[in-house]
Amino acid sequence: MPLGLVTAGESHGPALVAILTGLPAGLELDRDAIRHDLARRQAGYGRSPRQRIETDDVEVLAGLRHGMTLGTPLALVVPNRDHSNWAWGMSPWLPEGEPTGKGREPVTLPRPGHADLAGALKYGHEDVRNALERASARHTASIVAAGSVAKTLLAAIGISVSGAVVEIGGAQGEEAAREAIDAARRDRDTLGGVVEVRARGVPPGLGSYATKDERLDARLAWTLMGTQAVKAVEVGDGLAIARERGSASHDELLRDEGGYRRETNRAGGIEAGTSNGETIVVRAAMKPLPTLMRPLRSADLTTGDAAQALVERSDVAAVEALAVVAEACVAFELAAAARDKFGGDALADFVAAHRAYVERIPWSAAT
């Protein structure tokens, strides 16, 4: 059974849900580690006042007993605390009683850059809210919960994954980034940015050149591009080496008693869709958030009249959150690729297969 993930949940609905399949039995999960990752995703300068309402936590409904995975589907739930303010507006069933709280009025002013218009047209929604609720980056809380579990599985075979901010609105370094966010907030504007994820301890041979579906770089690009607001993905020095010669852009192979090694890592740890034993390095670029306090031009969905786009409570920048989300995405795909390589419906078998493999090949993890 390959490692799989299905998520569900609307931004202001009762909860977000993640169901993981194919997790080996016998993996000990740490509730605090998942909580820690959920809190990391919520932190960051420039987030919306929504984050003062939410204190994300995880509930487990299935697949775990006394902290140990059972080898059965693992069902995770992250409740939306803000739902209490939207209980009528986002009621799963036809609500009873007088309309009350948020979400009563239909939204008909699509925001440029958001899912609003495409979603309303595609699905025939007259209330844009029916599209924007699921498209919301709130969804990433369920991805982070699943990614946290994936990181625990990877840790069992010595792989660690961490995400970091590279730049926000073109500004590098924390102080410059804060200033850029403050300036954008003053101008009632938003910012995007770039994040980087590094995975250490990945042995050669995860993924494969055999088919497109198996290529590890394709899987990482898929999961990162599938994340809200991401518009570009880069593996290693992908963009820079497109302008250089081959002699300057490939990582030469050296061999010592530890096995093969490279002095450079311009390939970002992946050659021909297969991990090569170096640290995996991927970057994702995020567009500026489309909910603007000084809205762009739009046209009303019902009347067709020119209007300004919807103005809602929103973040100024969520690049720090993306660093945590991208880490979770990469961790999940690496865990899936490791599960493909090492099998193991029981954790001990997964670990033993990894050990036998790394003993067979001339490679040792960098220290």
Contact positions vs ligand EPS (CB under 6 A): 11, 48, 50, 54, 136-138, 141, 228, 291, 312-315
Closer residue to ligand EPS, CB minimum distance, 134 or 250: 134
Closer residue to ligand EPS, CB minimum distance, 106 or 258: 106
Closer residue to ligand EPS, CB minimum distance, 310 or 334: 310
Closer residue to ligand EPS, CB minimum distance, 11 or 227: 11
The C-alpha atoms of residue 124 and residue 121 are separated, in whole angstroms, by: 5
Using only C-alpha atoms, the chain has a radius of gyration, in whole angstroms, of: 22
Residue pair 329/148 in contact (Cβ under 8 Å)? The answer is: no
Q: Would you give the DSSP letter of residue 214? A: G
- Chain residue whose CB lies nearest ligand EPS: 50
Burial of 256: CB neighbours in 10 Å, binned 0-12, 13-18, 19+ = exposed
Kindly state the smallest distance separating residue 85's Cβ from ligand EPS, in Å.
Answer: 9
Q: Would you give the DSSP letter of residue 102? A: S
Kindly state the smallest distance separating residue 191's Cβ from ligand EPS, in Å.
Answer: 14
Kindly state the smallest distance separating residue 47's Cβ from ligand EPS, in Å.
Answer: 7
Kindly state the smallest distance separating residue 331's Cβ from ligand EPS, in Å.
Answer: 18
Kindly state the smallest distance separating residue 39's Cβ from ligand EPS, in Å.
Answer: 11
Closer residue to ligand EPS, CB minimum distance, 54 or 127: 54
Query: What is the arrangement of strands in the sheet containing 4-8, beginning at the earlier edge strand?
Result: 4-8, 15-21, 74-79, 59-62
**What residue type is assigned to position 62 of the chain?**
A
Closer residue to ligand EPS, CB minimum distance, 3 or 141: 141
Q: Would you give the DSSP letter of residue 237? A: T
Q: Write the Ramachandran bin of 44: left for phi over 0, alpha for psi from -120 to 50, otherwise beta.
A: left
Can you spell out the DSSP letters for 241-270?
A: HTTS-HHHHS--EEEETTEEEES--TTTTE
The C-alpha atoms of residue 138 and residue 76 are separated, in whole angstroms, by: 15
Closer residue to ligand EPS, CB minimum distance, 159 or 324: 324
The per-residue b/e assignment along 190-210, b for 16 or more CB within 10 angstroms, e otherwise, is: bbbbbbbbbbebbbbbbbbee
Kindly state the smallest distance separating residue 77's Cβ from ligand EPS, in Å.
Answer: 15
Kindly state the smallest distance separating residue 54's Cβ from ligand EPS, in Å.
Answer: 6
The C-alpha atoms of residue 149 and residue 151 are separated, in whole angstroms, by: 5
The C-alpha atoms of residue 235 and residue 340 are separated, in whole angstroms, by: 21
Closer residue to ligand EPS, CB minimum distance, 57 or 340: 57
Kindly state the smallest distance separating residue 291's Cβ from ligand EPS, in Å.
Answer: 6
